[in-house]
Amino acid sequence: MLLLQQIVNGLMLGSVYVTVAVAFTLTIGILNFLNFTIPTLFMLAGMVGWGLAYFGLPFGLSGPLPWPLALAIGIAAAILCSLVVERFTFRYLQTKYGDSTEHAIPLVSSLGFLLILENLVRIAYGGDAQRFPGPSGDLTAEFGGLFFRVPQLVSFFIVLALIVGLAWIMRATRIGRGLRAIAENPDAAAILGVETGRVVPMVFLLTGLLCGLAGALFAVNYGEVSPQMGEDIGSKAIAGMVVGGLGSLWGAVAGGIVVGLVEILTVHFFGADAVQVAVWGALLLTLLARPQGLFGHNAIGKGKL
């Protein structure tokens, strides 16, 4: 029963990884761009949310804000930053080099943004972990002897709804068709009348939304935020994406859950210190033995660096 309970915990944890992994896989699948700002956007939503709930608006415009409002603004900040990243990485490149598959330069730019955002947050709010003044995470519900924490359960279903919605957007809408056309071949998509300049920012908007939401949910669920909170989640999400297969939406979902389970079970059987080796070892073995992952196809990410 204890093991079953651990598996439930792994699923819950996995759902946070899933959200961030989906953001990673979306940018890689469509733009062939490994966006290292993703973990930072996750952190930004949580930290800005905390800052607003603790200090209030800048210039002393208000006292501390209620936490749901604070988190909503945090998510908006993540989306905004994501669009700024688009402006400086992808859009600029396309106009200058006309080669949107040359992904080394945006990758390096995104490393630059990672440093800027994370360290600005550190300067603004300090490097320490902070307690998030949200609802109590201890609210639990029991089903058949298994315990579920209510905020986690709510998060789980929000994530589920979000991903089903995303899959629907990709399949059924004009924007989704445009995005898939760009994923197949950016140049051909432009010729076929896909307005890349309008559609590409959508990827970043979705990325910001996914990461911001994940960061907000994390803040509520675990009651703690820190400038480093993105690093761990980011690496687990990358691992999930690789295991699932780069560029595959459902692969990222499956991979994120697999990584969540691997983590919880590793802690259960070998202790917390072994997690890093287990997760990254799984990633490395996947890369070496089956680079396309569980669901991905081989064409993505093999561009010239």
Partner 1 sequence: MSGYWAGLLTLLAINVVFAYGIYLAVAAGQLNLGGAGFQAVGAYAAAWLAFEMEMPLAVTIAASAVVTGVVGYLFAFPILRLKGVYLVLGTYAFAEVVAGVILNSDSLGGAMGMPVPTFIDWQVPVIAAAATALLCFYLMSTRFGLVVRAVHDDDLVADLMGVNVPRIRVIAFGIGAALAGLSGGLYAHAYSFVEIQNFNAALSIYVLLYVLLGGAQTPWGPFAGAAFFTLLPELLRAGLPALTEMLSALLGKTGVISTPDESWRFVILGVVTVLMMVFRPEGLITRAAIERLTHPRRRAKDTAVEVTE
Q: How far apart are CA 80 and CA 280, in angstroms?
A: 31
**Which residues share a beta bridge with 130?**
225
Q: How far apart are CA 215 and CA 204, in angstroms?
A: 16
Half-sphere CA count of 214, side-chain side, radius 13 A = 34
Q: Any contact of residue 305 with partner 1 (CB under 8 A)? A: yes
Q: How far apart are CA 159 and CA 157, in angstroms?
A: 5
Residue 170: closest CA among 182, 162, 178: 178
Q: Any contact of residue 107 with partner 1 (CB under 8 A)? A: yes
Q: Any contact of residue 83 with partner 1 (CB under 8 A)? A: no
How many angstroms separate the first and last alpha carbons of the chain? 49
97 CB-contact burial (10 Å; exposed 0-12 / middle 13-18 / buried 19+): exposed
Region from 2-10, 48-56, 156-164, 212-220 binding partner 1, contact rule CB under 8 A: 48-56
Q: Any contact of residue 127 with partner 1 (CB under 8 A)? A: yes
Q: Any contact of residue 283 with partner 1 (CB under 8 A)? A: yes
Q: Any contact of residue 109 with partner 1 (CB under 8 A)? A: yes
Q: Any contact of residue 125 with partner 1 (CB under 8 A)? A: yes
Q: How near is the Cβ of 50 to partner 1 at its closest, in Å?
A: 12
Region from 111-119, 156-164, 178-186, 207-215 binding partner 1, contact rule CB under 8 A: 111-119
Q: Any contact of residue 235 with partner 1 (CB under 8 A)? A: yes
Q: Any contact of residue 144 with partner 1 (CB under 8 A)? A: no
Contacts of 103 (CB under 8 A, 6+ apart): 31, 32, 33, 34, 303, 305
Instruction: Work out which of 41, 199, 262, 300 binds partner 1, going by CB under 8 A.
Output: 300
Region from 117-125, 170-178, 185-193, 198-206 binding partner 1, contact rule CB under 8 A: 117-125
Q: Any contact of residue 299 with partner 1 (CB under 8 A)? A: no
Q: Any contact of residue 172 with partner 1 (CB under 8 A)? A: no
Q: Any contact of residue 65 with partner 1 (CB under 8 A)? A: no
Residue 71: closest CA among 100, 94, 48: 48
Site for partner 1 (CB under 8 A): how many residues? 64
Residue 222: closest CA among 43, 69, 83: 43
Q: Any contact of residue 250 with partner 1 (CB under 8 A)? A: no
Q: How far apart are CA 290 and CA 243, in angstroms?
A: 9
Q: Any contact of residue 103 with partner 1 (CB under 8 A)? A: yes
Q: How far apart are CA 45 and CA 196, in angstroms?
A: 27
The sign of the torsion formed by the CA atoms of 300, 81, 196, 89 equals negative
Q: Any contact of residue 185 with partner 1 (CB under 8 A)? A: no
Q: How near is the Cβ of 105 to partner 1 at its closest, in Å?
A: 5
Q: Any contact of residue 246 with partner 1 (CB under 8 A)? A: yes
Residue ranges that bind partner 1, judged by CB under 8 A: 28, 32, 34, 36, 51, 55-61, 88-89, 92, 103-109, 111-120, 122-128, 231, 235, 238-239, 242, 246, 273-277, 279-281, 283-284, 287-288, 291, 300-305
